[in-house]
Amino acid sequence: MGFYICVDKDVKVYIEDINPTGKKIVFFVHGWPGNHNYFEYQFNYLPQMGYRCIGMDYRGFGHSDRPWTGYDYDRLSDDIRSVVNTMQLQNFTLLGHSTGGAICIRYMSRHNGYGVSKLVLCAAAAPSLIRRPYFPYGLKSEDVFNIIQGVYKDRPQTLRDFGNMIFFNPVSPAFSDWLFQLGLQASGWSTAAIAKTWLGEEKLFEDLGKIHVPTLILHGVNDKVCLFPLAVAQHECIKNSKLIPIESCGHFLFYDQLEIFNKELIGFLEII
């Protein structure tokens, strides 16, 4: 069931609510540059086990409105809070992939984890996607600059190049094309704006220490976007966390190692 929720003045985000009568809720927040459909192979499976799956396209992406502003993590986490309030969600698991993971971390800090009983971080872009003098584990800043410039000059080719680095295992050309089309559904300006957050956002270092719910960290050992040391840093900063390294796995771990990902996720969800 799909519908829209107003999260800001003249801004509505798209929500997909699958199995609304399910007793256990998982709220999915996608990564760049896609939308909630990234999690199709979780949405196919989890509701069969009685879970209610909620996918949100954050502003500028998928079917959501595309305002010119509002792409910082504070505003994006506020959008999640608006959805939580409107849908009256409580005792749910919040799951974020890549930049979506960073947004979820900000939500946990800025909104004190309102309504969240568990957190799942999947290849999360935190505490820093790029290398910094005090954190030498991320991408080179010039790599991100190149992505931003590529979005402005040739967004389709930039997304194609990104698609070529997100898997460790081969995928079919049809699947690759499907992911590519999901990325093109976003606006160019929102695609660039989110990429810019990777350069300037440093508060995530502080945010991690404010997470106090059980947290599962799933991360591909062969991730070329959010390098594996990011997951180690997350685990060290979040007190009640469990890190699962996934071997032979890249950035899109929820498909690259689909069976392992779903097994670990469900095992965590089933813990009382």
Mean pLDDT value of segment 114-131: 98
- Spatial separation of the C-alpha atoms in residues 189 and 194, rounded to whole Å: 9
CA distances to 2, 55, 155, 174, 189 from 149, in Å: 34, 29, 9, 27, 12
pLDDT band at 237 (very low <50, low <70, confident <90, very high): very high
pLDDT band at 1 (very low <50, low <70, confident <90, very high): confident
Active site residues per annotation: 98, 223, 251
92's enclosing H/E stretch is strand 92-97
pLDDT of residue 202: 86
pLDDT of residue 20: 97
The b-or-e profile of 23-42 (16+ CB within 10 A means b, else e) is ebbbbbbbbbbbbbbbbeeb
Mean pLDDT value of segment 103-116: 98
Mean pLDDT value of segment 108-113: 98
pLDDT of residue 41: 97
CA distances to 170, 171, 177, 180, 193 from 174, in Å: 12, 8, 5, 10, 28
pLDDT of residue 176: 97
3-state secondary structure of 165: coil
CB-CB contact of 226 with 125 (8 Å): yes
- Spatial separation of the C-alpha atoms in residues 42 and 18, rounded to whole Å: 11
pLDDT for 37-65, tens place per residue? 999 999 999 999 999 999 999 999 999 99
pLDDT of residue 90: 97
CB-CB contact of 67 with 59 (8 Å): yes
pLDDT band at 161 (very low <50, low <70, confident <90, very high): very high
Q: Please determine, for residue 118, whether its predicted confidence score (pLDDT) is greater than 80.
A: yes
Cα Rg of the chain, angstroms: 17
Six token digits for residue 84: 């939580």
pLDDT of residue 272: 72
Length of the chain: 272
Strand 11-18 relative to strand 241-246, pairing: unpaired
Q: Please determine, for residue 162, whether its predicted confidence score (pLDDT) is greater than 90.
A: yes
Q: Please determine, for residue 180, whether its predicted confidence score (pLDDT) is greater than 90.
A: yes
**Average pLDDT value for the chain:** 97
Mean pLDDT value of segment 83-112: 98
Query: What are the residues whose beta carbons fall under 8 Å from the beta carbon of 196, sequence distance 6 or more?
Result: 71, 148
- Spatial separation of the C-alpha atoms in residues 128 and 26, rounded to whole Å: 25
Place of tokens 């500028």: 60
> End-to-end distance of the chain based on CA atoms, in angstroms?
28
pLDDT of residue 159: 98
Cα 188 vs. chain centroid, distance in angstroms?
19
Helix axes 99-110 and 188-200, enclosed angle (nearest 10): 60
pTM for this prediction: 0.97
Mean pLDDT value of segment 261-266: 98
